[in-house]
Amino acid sequence: MRLRQFERPRVGVRLLAGLVTMWGSPFQAAAGFRPGAGRLQTRLLAGLVLAAFLAAAAERPLPVFLDTDIGDDIDDALALALALESPELKVLGISTVLQDGARRADLVWRILQLYGRTDIPVGSGAERPLVAPPRTGPVRQVEALRPRDAMPADRRRNGVELLIATCLHSTEKVTLVAYGPLTNIALALRSEPRLHDRIERIVLMNGVFFRPGLEYNTKMDPEASAIVYSSGLPVTAVGLDVTMQCELTADHLRRFAQSPLENVQFLWKLIQIWQGGNASQRPILHDPLAVAVTVKPDLVSTIAGTVSVELKGTLEQTYGMTVFRKSATGVVRVAQEVSSAAAVEFFMQRVVAAPR
């Protein structure tokens, strides 16, 4: 699997090499350079231009939009932190999904504050799945918020509208990184057909493909997952097959606890709320892996094919099962193997190490 940003510098190098070849001689002649010395200066100048171009190309970030059910499992907050600490990504917007969307958006907002990124727009999206029963109960991690941490009223957006507007107005195609139930993505695709030409790829934490079972995000909204997998858009999915291998250790958690950084301390607070007094419960990096493979595709191996979702099954048993069929022409790629130690280290280096 290759994502687009890794192909840009190579195309740029070829283009620039061609331009330098074309412009080299006239430039020398016009400047009245002496043979030899002039050629050297031209080459030096071309080298400097090339170096500057390569640096700019390498730093040009991939535009992404994040969709999250932050506030229940701990991994959404960790995924957001990883995205914000990844210079290869330009986060254009964030939508929340599932019930209590305003409070989930508050949680996103607080994290954006701590990372100095309140320029990123946030919207609360669909609160109920398309067909499946709604999720109920409190969103526990909002306990970490103080009253003054609430998102200002004039910044609140509708998540689905924000997703659509972001993709339509972006100068480049947008990569969606979705690590909650896919209700927002499905609603957006259904209501705005032009999105198909504005989305580069959809990267998902979703499904389980190489053994039977139910994955939470697909289970929560099977119909939405079916819409996304059958959309015809390029999809890369990291499922439980690979994410379950990316668990933090007690030592990793100690590094969170001992960090002097305010943003890492806030993540540690969320982890502790999520643990609910059970210190042996350790985060599994389901959602951060979706962000990680967007930045670094070679952390996983993928297979091309199609994914269908069981929509007539029994609730909690087969309703929402993902079925992968290998096909060379399929536009869905599912992750089969993961370099789990490298993925966890990648996450820790970026999120818990000292700021760049």
Identify which of residues 130 and 289 has a Cβ nearer to Ca ion in the complex. Answer: 289
Name the strands in the sheet holding 235-238, side by side, starting at the edge strand that comes first in the sequence. Answer: 156-158, 122-124, 89-96, 62-68, 174-178, 199-205, 235-238, 332-338, 300-309, 322-326
The pair of structure tokens assigned to 27 is 């430039």
Binding flag, residue 101, Ca ion (CB under 5 A): no
Identify which of residues 76 and 100 has a Cβ nearer to Ca ion in the complex. Answer: 76
Residue 107: CB minimum distance to Ca ion, A:
12
CB of 156 closer than 8 Å to CB of 124: yes
Length of the chain as a residue count: 356
- Residue 36, classed as helix, strand or coil, is coil
Binding flag, residue 200, Ca ion (CB under 5 A): no
Residue 179: CB minimum distance to Ca ion, A:
4
Residues 14-53 that bind Ca ion (CB under 5 A): none
Q: What is the dihedral of CA 149, 74, 220, 161, to 10 degrees?
A: 40
**Which positions from 248 to 287 touch Ca ion by CB under 5 A, shown as an x/- string?**
---------------------------------------x
Binding flag, residue 76, Ca ion (CB under 5 A): yes
Buried b (16+ CB within 10 A) or exposed e, 283-300: bbbbbbbbbbbbbbbebb
**Residue 11 contacts by C-beta under 8 Å, 6 or more apart in sequence?**
none
Residue 145: CB minimum distance to Ca ion, A:
18
Among 5, 63, 66, 69, interactor with Ca ion by CB under 5 A: 69
Residue 203: CB minimum distance to Ca ion, A:
13
Identify which of residues 66 and 233 has a Cβ nearer to Ca ion in the complex. Answer: 66
Identify which of residues 165 and 238 has a Cβ nearer to Ca ion in the complex. Answer: 238
Phi-psi region of 100 (alpha: psi -120 to 50; beta: other; left: phi over 0): left
**Residue 18 contacts by C-beta under 8 Å, 6 or more apart in sequence?**
none
Residue 286: CB minimum distance to Ca ion, A:
7
Q: Which stretch binds Ca ion (CB under 5 A): 12-20, 36-44, 155-163, 175-183?
A: 175-183
Binding flag, residue 180, Ca ion (CB under 5 A): yes
**Residue 258 contacts by C-beta under 8 Å, 6 or more apart in sequence?**
none
Give the helix/strand (H/E) hosting 95: strand 89-96
Identify which of residues 42 and 99 has a Cβ nearer to Ca ion in the complex. Answer: 99
The pair of structure tokens assigned to 97 is 């999904």
Considering 169, 196, 252, 286, which one is annotated as catalytic?
286
Binding flag, residue 239, Ca ion (CB under 5 A): no
Q: Which stretch binds Ca ion (CB under 5 A): 66-74, 81-89, 98-106, 324-332?
A: 66-74
Residue 167: CB minimum distance to Ca ion, A:
21
Distance CA 59, CA 79 (A): 21
Binding flag, residue 179, Ca ion (CB under 5 A): yes
Distance CA 4, CA 191 (A): 26
Identify which of residues 42 and 218 has a Cβ nearer to Ca ion in the complex. Answer: 218
Give the helix/strand (H/E) hosting 67: strand 62-68
Catalytic annotation on 286?
Answer: yes
Q: Which stretch binds Ca ion (CB under 5 A): 87-95, 171-179, 246-254, 297-305?
A: 171-179
Distance CA 308, CA 227 (A): 9
Residue 237: CB minimum distance to Ca ion, A:
14
Identify which of residues 69 and 200 has a Cβ nearer to Ca ion in the complex. Answer: 69
Please identify which residue in the block is written with the tokens 């007094």.
277
Footprint of Ca ion (CB under 5 A): 69, 76, 179-180, 287
Q: Which residues are catalytic?
A: 286
